[in-house]
Homo-oligomer: A and B are copies of this chain.
Amino acid sequence: MTLSSIDPRTGTATAIDGADTTSDELDAICRRAAEAAPELAALPLRTRAALLRAAADELEAVRDQIVAVADRETALGQARLNNELTRTCYQLRLFGEVVDEGSFLELTIDHPGELPMGARPDVRRMLVPLGPVAVFGASNFPLAFSVPGGDTASVLAAGCPVVVKVHPAHPETSQLAFECLSRAAATVGAPQGTVATVAGYDAGAALVRHPAITAVGFTGSVHGGRALFDLACARPDPIPFYGELGSINPLVVLPAAAASRHDQISKDYVGSMTLGTGQFCTKPGLAFVPAGYGDEFHSALGAAIEEVAAGWLLTGGIRDAFGRGVARLGEHAGVREIGRGRSEEGNGYSASAALFLVPAEEFLASPDFFTQECFGPVAVVVTYADQAELDAMLRKVPGSLTGTIHGDEADHDLARPLLGRLTERAGRVLWNGYPTGVAVTWAMTHGGPWPSTTASTHTSVGTTAVRRFLRPVTFQSVPDGLLPVELREANELGLPRRVDGRLTLS
């Protein structure tokens, strides 16, 4: 199939150069990645860090062009896309710092000694790259979770070649980004095959099953993610599949906060759930407000949602699913419409925001219905009578990337058990904030219990994202001169290491 690029603002498709990757092409790409793997792994850490920085430089050098193309392919707007590119470049450079700093290698040295069981040999452990990793680009972050972005940065920082399955919603953006990454690899002398892309649905499935691939990073739907996860597990040699699937992201307003600032919360909440036309995996799609303030929220949320301009959804498929989801909610027994955003006449994949109110008894009668993620600017607000009812509902909320509490000082006692409940249910717990922004920092987590991710033990944002693509190797009694330089006694790179059980800084 030849590729085409569609403008969501008009629905117009333009044929572009390129076609779906054939199975022979895919095999050749994966073999090149496998050949590149040991060579890439053997590059000095400073070269690996330089690769990440060069990738950032190359992307910034084409900023205006790539933002314009991405805007045409996604309709996310130049301001947002510029910010996305800035984020990605910041992340690549931060991961360069992570590589330089060296803690991610988990260097551990135990000198020979006596244990109650007998003599202990010299053992030295470090993490090494897994090998070629497949990454699936997401439609909603063409510059931050696609060909460039969190997964690619993690894979390269781990020292692994990356093969990206490009998202069909932004093929030209993907091509430009791939060229940037390729130039960066060439600049630092990384081997051919360090970065590659493939296109097409079948190529994606074949990629997950290819013997050379050692792990997968995925961001997308529960349906698509589960299918690929199943393929990864069914391989003769199963491989780790780090998937970020769907998330409803519950948000709870406690009584004192509801009393003191329901207007502000309503306004900000509507801003968060409609950000990027509601196409954030961290969209707070389910809010719980005290029943005693149900009318106040209904009125404040209604005023806020009616101010929301129509936006464009990324693809025709998302637009259709959004339309069905909003219709289903509106028709469900006991659901009241709070309000709708502005509508837009004309072509393309435009969508108006929608917000619904649901009483607790309706929610508890159909929790699966109300906790399904619907991509786009729609959310459900549920009223709760007391903490017991709130907790009964939260127990029905599936695993999420985030959980948010809005509370005042007077809410702290109510907040304690609630924090415990959300910690069980989510990978990030926010206080008086909104989950849609995900800061790139050392301490960030972007992951949570199923279905928000397939592996809640690891996460796709934050510097520890690198850990997904590494495995430990221990060298026992290996002569110093034959050890990897990072594990030699002299520590000439000055890396942090745990020596005989004690953590030592560089």
Contacts and interface: CB of A to CB of B under 8 A. Distances in A.
Interface of A: 38, 42, 83, 86-87, 89-90, 97, 101, 103, 106, 108-110, 115-118, 120-121, 123-125, 128, 130, 229-230, 233-234, 237-238, 240, 399, 412, 415-416, 419-420, 423-424, 426-433, 437, 439-445, 447, 449-451, 454-459, 462, 464, 467-468, 470-479, 481-482, 496, 498, 500-501, 503, 505
Given A429-B475, A459-B472, 16 more contacts: A38-B420, A90-B115, A106-B464, A121-B433, A123-B441, A123-B443, A125-B445, A237-B449, A427-B472, A427-B474, A428-B476, A431-B476, A431-B482, A443-B474, A443-B498, A457-B467
A384 to B, nearest CB: 20
Most B C-beta atoms less than 10 A away, residue of A42, A109, A120: A120
19 contacts: A42-B420, A87-B117, A103-B498, A108-B443, A110-B444, A120-B439, A121-B439, A123-B444, A130-B456, A229-B233, A233-B234, A238-B450, A240-B455, A427-B474, A429-B473, A430-B476, A430-B478, A431-B476, A433-B477
Contacts of A479: 412, 431
Contacts of A456: 130, 471
Nearest to A416: B482
A115 B106 CA distance: 27
B474 A429 contact: yes
Given A503-B103, A503-B496, A440 B473 contact: no
A184 B339 CA distance: 58
Contact of A498 (B399, B432, B433, B442): B442
Given A412-B482, A439-B115, A439-B120, A474 B125 contact: no
Contact of A429 (B103, B233, B439, B476): B476
A457 B90 CA distance: 27
A230 to B, nearest CB: 7
Contacts of A103: 498, 503
Contacts of A481: 412
Give the 10 A-B CB pairs with smallest separation, nearest first.
Answer: A233-B233, A445-B474, A237-B450, A125-B443, A108-B443, A430-B476, A110-B441, A431-B478, A123-B443, A456-B471
Given A455-B240, A476-B430, A441 B120 contact: yes
Contacts of A109: 443
A86 B429 contact: no
Given A125-B444, A464-B106, A116 B86 contact: yes
A427 B471 contact: yes
Contacts of A424: 38
Given A423-B128, A439-B120, A454-B238, A430 B477 contact: yes
A473 B415 contact: no
Nearest to A418: B482
Contacts of A498: 103, 442-443
A116 to B, nearest CB: 5
A125 B455 contact: no
A125 B459 CA distance: 12
Contacts of A87: 116-117
Contact of A457 (B130, B427, B503): B130
Contact of A472 (B120, B440, B447): B447
Nearest to A423: B473
Nearest to A433: B477
A467 B464 CA distance: 13
A40 to B, nearest CB: 13
A451 to B, nearest CB: 7
A479 B407 CA distance: 10
Nearest to A428: B474
B125 A501 contact: no
A250 B330 CA distance: 64
A233 B238 CA distance: 10
A468 B472 contact: no
A131 to B, nearest CB: 8
B108 A90 contact: no
